[in-house]
Amino acid sequence: MRRRQFITFLVRPNSGWPQDLGVRHNKWVRLLMALSGMTYMLSSPSALSQELVTQDLEAASEQQVFNNACRTCHTIKEGDNRLGPNLYKIIGRKAGSLPDYNYSSAMKGAGFVWDEEKLEHFIANPDEVVPGNNMKPYSGLASTDDRKKVMVFLLSVTTGRP
């Protein structure tokens, strides 16, 4: 092929070149575009999976605060009492009501059902909510943010949020 013809081909592939090769060229371009589109879709993390990763991280940090502040004495497993009573489904449970745990008389006679407000207040300052309780040694959870995390964690155990 002559030089001029070749340059024309480079600029306008369908002219000055056998027709069937031009058609194939188009097919290639389309195939390449389809492939790169697929690669893009596969490699870019979808909004959904991003969301799930963020949720996992949050849940992990909520559990972490619970582990640090409460797990020495409490589990969240039904029937599994340690130094403190288990906190399985604690929100909505009557205070001091587990039959197989030896509560202080203060907690046994508290006479209310744990809701979020009571529980958050209690873990900030146990004696203000149940004076004379036996949750000791416990110095309170001063950070509002940490208390929120414990609440969300305990709620997730209560409601089964994933």
Q: Determine, following the binding rule CB under 6 A, whether residue 95 of this chain makes contact with ligand HEC.
A: yes
Interface pick for ligand HEC out of 69, 129, 152, 157 (rule CB under 6 A): 69
Q: How far apart are the first and last CA of the chain?
A: 68
For 91, the 3-state DSSP assignment is: coil
Q: Determine, following the binding rule CB under 6 A, whether residue 88 of this chain makes contact with ligand HEC.
A: no
Phi, psi of 94 (to 5 degrees): -75, 135
Q: Determine, following the binding rule CB under 6 A, whether residue 113 of this chain makes contact with ligand HEC.
A: no
Q: Determine, following the binding rule CB under 6 A, whether residue 134 of this chain makes contact with ligand HEC.
A: yes
Q: What binding mask, one character per residue, do residues 7-46 give for ligand HEC by CB under 6 A, x or -?
A: ----------------------------------------
Q: Determine, following the binding rule CB under 6 A, whether residue 76 of this chain makes contact with ligand HEC.
A: no
- Shortest distance, position 54 Cβ to ligand HEC, whole Å: 24
Max distance between CA atoms of the chain, in angstroms, equals: 103
- CA triple 129-131-134, angle to 5 deg: 105
> DSSP string spanning 95-132?
TT--TTS---HHHHT---B--HHHHHHHHH-HHHHSTT
Q: Determine, following the binding rule CB under 6 A, whether residue 63 of this chain makes contact with ligand HEC.
A: no
**Is the peptide bond between 99 and the residue preceding it cis, with omega within 30 degrees of 0?**
no
| Residues within the interface to ligand HEC (CB under 6 A) | 69-70, 72-74, 83-85, 87, 90, 95-96, 98, 103-104, 106-107, 114, 119, 122-123, 133-135, 137-138, 141, 150
